[in-house]
Structure 1
Amino acid sequence: MIKKLIFALSFLMAVTISAQKTNDKDAVTAAAEKLRLAMISGEKPALESLILPELTYGHSGGHIDDAAEFVEKLVSKKSDFVTIDITNQTISITGNTAIVRHHFYATTADAGKAPGDVTLDILLVWVKVKKDWKLLARQAVKSEKKK
């Protein structure tokens, strides 16, 4: 009887953990999409709602923005994304940390310049704070891949 009870409890725990990971993966996917849209819109409240104050945002050229600089560049249109397409996204979750990798293709009009194209591979680190996922770190590397 005890063995059956232990088996049943173990099974229920496994199902619960699996369901939680699926819910978290969906929530991280939604947060990444909200970030994509906020980076295009440049809306300060939307951007600030998705990041942690400790954000470290690494560009493919080596420059690293803090949270304030990341938001300011997008709000001021110093960094202006006209379009952002994300492909080949993978999400790995361990505890309250999610690692997201994807291919990033964007059209830009930085500081009113003629449109440019950006092709990058991105690593995002999201942290679950209460029930929300917040961006802690981002690193971009140049990519040869096309959309």
Structure 2
Amino acid sequence: MKRTLFLLAFLILSNTLLMAQGDEKAIADAVEKLRVALVDANEADLDKLTSPMLSYGHSNGLLEDKKAFIRALTSGDANFTKIELSEQTITISGDVALVRHHLVGETHNKGKEPAPINIRVLLVFQKVKGNWLLLGRQAFKF
């Protein structure tokens, strides 16, 4: 009886760990897809990767909803020409994931000279119908 309970507990724990590892990879993949969509200003991909409830905070204090976020990128008002991510961590709690990373890149926003970016970012993803969607983002200078 003890052996059966031990085996059952082991199987449950193993399954939970495997699911968490799968979710961590899925979130890392979503972050990479988002990085590419930001640089490409791809409206369809940006829409697919973000929640309708998106709250997107910039390091200068500007706050955008999903519609304003996508419009700024696709119109060229905000134009990422390069984004490199490092020091990424992913923490999962149920259907919510927190992603922190260091973002270094360049922007060439409408009417402005190219400018370097060196910020830290917190992303909040939520799992909806099996997909991890960006729910919130806050960047800050350090």
Shared fold, TM over 0.5 = yes
- Structure 1's 112 and 40: CA in aligned 2 closer, same or farther, altered over 3 A? farther
Structure 2 counterparts to residues 101-120 of structure 1, below 5 A: 101-120=100-119
Letter in 1 for 2:123: L
Output the CA distance in 2 between the equivalents of 1:37 and 1:85.
Answer: 10
**Are 2:45 and 1:46 equivalent residues in the alignment?**
yes
Corresponding residue number in structure 2 for 1:16: 15
Task: Give the 3-state SS of the residue equivalent to 2:110 in structure 1.
Answer: helix
Output the CA distance in 1 between the equivalents of 2:2 and 2:12.
Answer: 15
Runs of 4+ displaced beyond 3 Å: none
Identity %: 39
Corresponding residue number in structure 1 for 2:73: 74
Output the CA distance in 2 between the equivalents of 1:113 and 1:39.
Answer: 18
Corresponding residue number in structure 1 for 2:89: 90
CA RMSD of aligned residues (A): 0.8
Corresponding residue number in structure 1 for 2:122: 123
Output the CA distance in 1 between the equivalents of 2:17 and 2:129.
Answer: 19
Output the CA distance in 2 between the equivalents of 1:4 and 1:76.
Answer: 63
Output the CA distance in 1 between the equivalents of 2:18 and 2:52.
Answer: 30
How far does residue 134 in structure 1 lie from its aligned partner after superposition? 0.1
Task: Give the 3-state SS of the residue equivalent to 1:113 in structure 2.
Answer: coil
- Deviation string for 1:45-96 (max 9, x for gaps)? 0100000010000111111100000000001110000000101000001111
- Structure 2 gaps, min length 5: none
- Structure 1's 25 and 97: CA in aligned 2 closer, same or farther, altered over 3 A? same
Output the CA distance in 2 between the equivalents of 1:139 and 1:121.
Answer: 9
How far does residue 5 in structure 1 lie from its aligned partner after superposition? 1.1
Letter in 2 for 1:109: H
How far does residue 106 in structure 1 lie from its aligned partner after superposition? 1.3
- Structure 1 gaps, min length 5: none
Output the CA distance in 1 between the equivalents of 2:8 and 2:57.
Answer: 44
